[in-house]
Structure 1
Amino acid sequence: MANGDLVELQRNSANWAQIVEEIVKLERKIFPKHESLARFFDEELRKKNSGLLYMDVDGEVVGYVMYSWPSSLCASITKLAVKEQWRKQGHGEALLKAAIQKCRTRNVPCISLHVDPLRTPALNLYKKHGFQVDNLIEGYYSSDRNAYRMYLDFDAD
């Protein structure tokens, strides 16, 4: 089970810049440059229809989840990442569950996300929490990397 503090990043918090900087470093380390939101992170987070939760363990950001609700039709989990040395300890699951709860409060009927079919641990985590594969999108990440579009339908609960 994850031990750490699940924290919602507040837009006007005193540590905003520091936390965003740590998340950007993590983003650059985990995702290839063309998949990274690092250059746009601050801008994305300032949008009124987005949110970010992060896992803090003894002052270290070990993972984060970014979500948005671009319309009343469906929310979206944009990013979910955990530092490699902190994986398989429940942090990703805790972040996912919290993001699902946050999206539920927006009164949307579903949440969607994209995941590389080769990222088996991530795929299994999403399936464990009720996400279903909707479609295979060829060339989503790059010409040779596909993605599953997955969704969680709240009406099916």
Structure 2
Amino acid sequence: MVCRAPQQKARTSAMGSGVVELQRNSTNWAKAVGEIVKMERKIFPKHESLASSFAEELKKKNSGLIYVELDGEVVGYVMYSWPSSLFASIAKLAVKENYRRQGHGEALLKAAIQKCRSRKVHRISLHVDPLRTPAMSLYKKLGFQVDALIVGYYSPDRDANRMYLEFDSE
């Protein structure tokens, strides 16, 4: 594991937002996780939410979380994991409603892709409701392809597209 400063920030083109990788030893861990859990509860239905297990998920060795912070407020996040060098998965990507369509989701997804690439991951997968047109457009824009339709993935009447992004062998 590479050691980094607890508050390592990288500027993005998303209107000057700060993209921050949450570090386990960070002084703002509790504050950031608290804000993300609130966002998780508001955005996702209870059966899709990781709010009750968020802190535990983040303690797993091969998991990461990147968030966008504007003026001290967390406005979006992406949670990902890389169980092996063969693949990674995007577990969650969310942006607060009043901050959508401003490039924050794209900045988060690009940052997660870059983290996975730096770990030499060969393939990233995710699931998305095919009716979520903006999300589908973003994933396709960044090179993700639909692999399969998973019937009843979210609920009996709500399906998901399984999508993937594959990297060339180096």
With structure 1 as the length reference, what TM-score do the two structures score? Answer: 0.97
1:99-118 correspondence runs (5 A):
99-118=112-131
- Displacement of 1:48 after TM fit? 1.0
CA distance in 2, matches of 1:155, 1:46: 30
- Displacement of 1:72 after TM fit? 2.3
1:1-157 correspondence runs (5 A):
1-2=13-14, 3-155=16-168
- Displacement of 1:73 after TM fit? 1.8
Paired residue secondary structure (1:11):
coil
Let me know the Cα RMSD of the aligned residues.
1.2
| Unaligned stretches of 5+ residues in structure 1 | none
CA distance in 1, matches of 2:38, 2:136: 24
Runs of 4+ with >2 A deviation: none
- Displacement of 1:71 after TM fit? 2.0
Q: Which amino acid aligns with 1:100?
A: I
Count of residue pairs the alignment pairs up:
157
With structure 2 as the length reference, what TM-score do the two structures score? Answer: 0.90
Paired residue secondary structure (1:85):
helix
| Unaligned stretches of 5+ residues in structure 2 | 1-12
- Displacement of 1:116 after TM fit? 0.3
Q: Which structure ranks higher in relative contact order (CA pairs < 8 Å, sequence separation ≥ 6)?
A: 1
